Amino acid sequence: MTGLQKSTGRKLGLVIDLDTCVGCQACVTSCKEWNTGGHMAPLTDIDPYGEAPDGVWFNRVHTYEQEVETGPGTNRGTGTGTGSRTVHFPRSCLHCDEPACVTVCPTGASYKRASDGIVLVDEDKCIGCKLCSWACPYGAREYDTEVGVMKKCTLCVDRIYNDNLPEADRVPACVASCPVGARHFGDLGDETSPVSQLVAARGGVDLMPELGYRPVNKYLPPRERHADAGAAPLEPVGGEGGFFAWVDRMLSR
C-alpha cells in the first residue's frame, strides 16, 4: 500500500563499489535480459532497430570525470595541472526507506514490502500517471509506453526467492553477472551482515542524503589510490668497476 507499513527491519539491497566498477555494462544487460522475461515482463523497446532506440531498463551505467586534487595518490592525467579521475556509476532503484515514489502513488500500485523493504509496482493497479517517477530523485523508474505502466528494479524478487534456482543463483541478475565483483547483495538492515560490514569498512555512502529518502542501497566511493608505493629511489650499483664488476661480485657469492 501507498502508506508505508512498519518495517520488519530487514532491508535487502545492493552495495555498489565505485572503486572497482569498470563500466562493462554486464549488470545492465543481464538485468534487462532477466527482467524482460521476469516479474515485470516485458521491458519494452521502442524503435529497437531504428533512429532513436529507447527501451525500459532497470539499471544504467554512467561515466563521469571528476576533478580531484593532484597528489601522489590520485589517478592523475598528464599535463593538465588539475587532477581528475574517471568513474563508472551504475544507477538503479535504491529501495529507499522513505520512498516518496511510494507515498505519492495515488493508486497503491507502488508499494514497499514490509518483509524485506523491496519497493515494487503492482502493474495491475498502476494507472501510469508517472508521478512516482517524478518523486524519485534517482531516475530509477522507467515508464513503459506500450504497456502504460511504470516499471522499475524489482531487486530480482523472482530470483532471490526462487526455489527453482540453485541456492547460489538466488541473487539479483546484476550481481551474478558482475565480472569484477563490484556489486554485492544482502540485508543492510542487519549490521552484522557481510554487506553492512563492507559498507562500514569502506565508508559506504547514501546518494543525495539531503533529500531524506534514506536509500537502502549504498555506494562505496573510490578508494584512496595507492600512493607511490614508498619505494626508495634506485641507486646505481656501488663499488668499484661499475656494473660488470657488480655482476662478477654477485656471481662470486
Partner 1 sequence: MCACRCGIDVHLVEGRIRYIGGNPDHPVNRGVLCGKGSAGIMQHYSPARLRKPLLRTGERGSGAFREIEWDEALAIATDRLKRIRSTDPKKLAFFTGRDQSQSFTGWWAKQFGTPNFAAHGGFCSVNMAAAGLYTIGGSFWEFGEPDWEHAKYFLLFGVAEDHDSNPIKIGLGKLKARGAKVVSVNPCRTGYNAIADEWVGIRPGTDGLFVLALVHELLKAGRVDLDYLIRFTNAAHLVIHEPGAADDGLILRDEAGRPLVRDRRSGTATAMSANVEPELAGTFEADGRTARPAFQLIAERYLDEAWSPDAVAERCGIAADRIRRIAAELARVAFEEAIELPVAWTDANGVRHETMTGRPVAMHAMRGISAHSNGFHTCRAIHLLQVLLGSVEVPGGFRCKAPYPRPVPPGPKPAGRDGGRPDTPLDGMPLGFVQSPDDLLVDENGGPIRIDKAYSWEAPLAAHGLMHTVIRNAWAGDPYPIDTLFMFMANMAWNSSMNTAETIAMLTDRDETGDYRIPFIIYSDAYNSETVAYADLVLPDTTYLERHDCISLLDRPISDADGPADAIRHPVVEPDRDVRGFQSVLLDLGARLGLPGMVRDDSSPAYRDYADYIVNHERKPGVGPLAGWRGNGDEHGRGAPNPQQLQRYIDNGGFWKHELEPGQRYYKMANRGYLDFAAGFGLIDTPDQIVFQLYSEVLQRFRLAARGHGAVVPPEAERARIERYFDPLPFWYAPLQEAAVDTGVLPLHAITQRPMHMYHSWGSQNAWLRQITSQNRLFVHRDTAGRLGIADDDWVWIESHSGRVKGQVRLVDGVNPDTVWTWNAIGKRRGAWGLDPEAPEATRGFLLNHAISDVLRQSATPGGPGGGPDGGPDGEGGGGRAYSNSDPVTGQAAWFDLRVRLSRCAPADCGEAGPQFPELPPPPDLPPSPTILQYGRLFRQWRQDSKRGEAGKAGRAGGGAA
Partner 2 sequence: MHPAISVIFFTTASGAGYGLLALTGIGLALGLVPADRLFGLIALGLALTLVTAGLLASTLHLGHPERAWRAFSQWRSSWLSREGVASVLTYVPAAVFAAGWVLFGRTGSMIVLAGLLAALGALVTVYTTSMIYASLRTIPEWANGYTTPVYLLLAAMSGAVLLNAVAAMFGGEPVVGWVAAALLAAGWALKLAAWRANDTRAPPVTAGRATGLGDGAVRSIEWPHTAENYVLKEMGYRVARKHARQLRRIAWICAFAVPLALVLVSLAAGGAAAIAAASAACVFAGLGLVVERWLFFAEARHVAALYYRPAV
Point out which residues bind partner 2 (CB under 8 A). 1-3, 18, 28, 52-57, 60-69, 86-87, 89, 91, 100, 103-109, 125-131, 133-139, 142-145, 147-150, 205-212, 219, 221-222
Of 162, 180, 173, 186, which is closest to residue 32 (Cα–Cα)? 173
What 207-214 contacts at long range (C-beta under 8 Å, 24+ apart), as own/partner pairs, is: 207/94, 207/137, 207/138, 208/137, 208/138, 211/137, 212/98, 213/94, 213/96, 213/97, 213/98, 213/99, 213/100, 213/137, 214/96, 214/97, 214/98
* C-alpha span between 117 and 160 (Å, rounded): 13
Binding part of the chain for partner 1, among 2-10, 72-80, 91-99, 100-108 by CB under 8 A, reads 72-80
Q: Could you tell which of partner 2, partner 1, ligand SF4, none binds residue 155, using a CB distance below 5 to 8 A set by kind?
A: ligand SF4
Please give the residues from 86 up to 125 whose contact with partner 1 meets the rule CB under 8 A.
86-88
Give least dist CB 32 to ligand SF4, A: 8
Count CB neighbours of 151 within 10 A: 24
Q: Give the binding-site size for partner 1 (rule: CB under 8 A).
A: 83
Determine the interface stretch with partner 1 among 94-102, 163-171, 186-194, 204-212 (rule: CB under 8 A). Answer: 163-171
Give the whole-angstrom CA distance, residue 103 versus residue 106: 8
Residue 237 contact partner, candidates ligand SF4, partner 1, partner 2, none, CB within 5 to 8 A by sort of partner? partner 1
The C-alpha cell 529501495 sits at 95
Cell numbers describing residue 154: 524489482
* Minimal distance, residue 2 CB to partner 2, in Å: 4
Distance between CA 59 and CA 32 in Å, rounded? 8
| Cis peptide bond prior to 48, omega within 30° of 0 | no
Residue 191 interface partner, choices partner 2, ligand SF4, partner 1, none, CB cut-off 5-8 Å depending on type: none
Q: Name the minimum Å distance from CB 131 to partner 2.
A: 5
| Measured torsion, CA atoms of residues 60, 13, 17, 61, in degrees rounded to the nearest 10 | 0
Q: Could you give the 3-state DSSP secondary structure of residue 220?
A: strand
Residue 111 binds to ligand SF4 (criterion: CB under 6 A): no
Binding residues for ligand SF4, per CB under 6 A?
A: 21-27, 31, 34-35, 58-59, 61, 88, 90, 92-96, 99-101, 104-105, 107, 109-110, 119, 121, 126-132, 136, 138, 140-141, 150, 152-156, 172-174, 178, 180, 182-183, 213, 215
